[in-house]
Amino acid sequence: MKEAETIDRYDRQRRVTSIGAAGQEKISQATVLVAGCGALGSYVAEQLTRAGVAHLILVDPDQVSLTNLQRQALFDEDDVKQHRLKVMAAKNHLNQINHEVEITPLPAPLSIDLLNELDFDLVIDCLDNYQARDLINQAAWVHQFSYVFGSCAGNFGNVMLIDPSKGPCLNDVFPDLEALKATDCDLIGVTTPLVPLVAANQVSLALHYLVDPATVNYDRLLTIDAWNGDFNYFRVQKRPDCPVCANHKLTVEPDVSPQVRVLCGSQTYLMDLTERLDLNDLADWLTDRQIEVEQSPKFIHFTFNQNELSAFKNGRLILYGAPDLADAENQFDRFLAVTNHLMTQ
């Protein structure tokens, strides 16, 4: 694309005095990790793509379902019919919006391993569970990165820029974080208009951070009541007894197990092998058997025995659409029985 066309695309954003040409250049060089590609994540990813970030990393293990369409941008009924992974469907739609933005889809739960191996300038928390949020919060302390927290439930939302080395952490905001983690599998409704309100404020904070990090606030929690149109800010202070701020180390155990386990609120199951997978050999083996494969550097996605699977080079397997745990275990066993020779130490 010619430079003149690039300037034209972001012309209205460059004209904002708090961004300008220098700020747009910073945005256009940034890598942002969007954790969760559902309600908040789909809106956030679209806005960041339109804003012109260099690289988006989308992390989410789920497929698009019909109930998603009420509150999640980017996806449509065809994505539901085709059982597309959210990150893959999002990548397809985002490429149509701005082909200049590099999109890396990762159909996996957020994990310490992923955070350790990925390079990014900012994380945006668009998750729907506090177990993973606790992981981001602790990792932010250890690896010294900032992230934008956002949450939605019913008519109420929260937004805050967090960097434990510069201000309060998530544990300071929610002293009852352990109790919140116990409710992760509870299904909570959310009104459609709340989601873009929260997402827009997350993206606004993200752009502010990328353009001028020295002037952002790390101690302001925004609360939103979409039903009554109320927006309020609260100052959050560090707690002297905060376990995260006191430890400066990860206390979250890596979620790695050879046991098959289900992701909350879904028919998605995962297990971790003790051996690594040679993805090229596995892709060749599947192709030789006329099985279509979607391949990327970190994973491959395919259909095996009428079940969709994603396989990662670190040995993680994710199975989609199994009706129950017993069926998922059976499907994994059948797959491993014929592919065990492709494992590496």
- What pTM, to 2 d.p., does this model score? 0.90
Vertex 207 angle, CA 47 and 72, to 5°: 25
- The answer to whether 254 touches 228, Cβ cutoff 8 Å, is no
Q: Do domains 3-247 and 261-344 have the same CATH topology?
A: no
CATH number of 3-247: 3.40.50.720
Per-residue pLDDT of the chain (345 residues; tens, 9 = 90+): 445 454 579 999 999 999 999 999 999 999 999 999 999 999 999 999 999 999 999 999 999 999 899 998 999 999 999 989 999 999 999 999 999 999 999 999 998 888 988 999 999 999 988 888 999 999 999 889 999 999 998 999 999 999 999 999 999 998 877 777 665 555 678 999 999 999 999 999 999 999 999 999 999 999 999 999 999 999 999 988 888 887 766 666 555 557 898 887 678 999 988 888 889 999 999 999 999 999 888 899 999 988 899 999 888 999 998 999 999 999 999 998 888 777 665
Name the residue ranges covered by the structural domains of the chain: 3-247, 261-344
CATH of 261-344, one of 3.10.150.10, 3.30.310.10, 3.40.50.2300, 1.20.59.10: 3.30.310.10
In 3-state terms, what secondary structure has residue 310? strand
Q: How far apart are CA 316 and CA 299, in angstroms?
A: 9
What tokens appear for 216 in the block? 């952002």
- The answer to whether 139 touches 112, Cβ cutoff 8 Å, is yes
Q: How far apart are CA 269 and CA 294, in angstroms?
A: 19
Q: How far apart are CA 150 and CA 133, in angstroms?
A: 10
- The answer to whether 79 touches 55, Cβ cutoff 8 Å, is no
Vertex 311 angle, CA 271 and 91, to 5°: 120
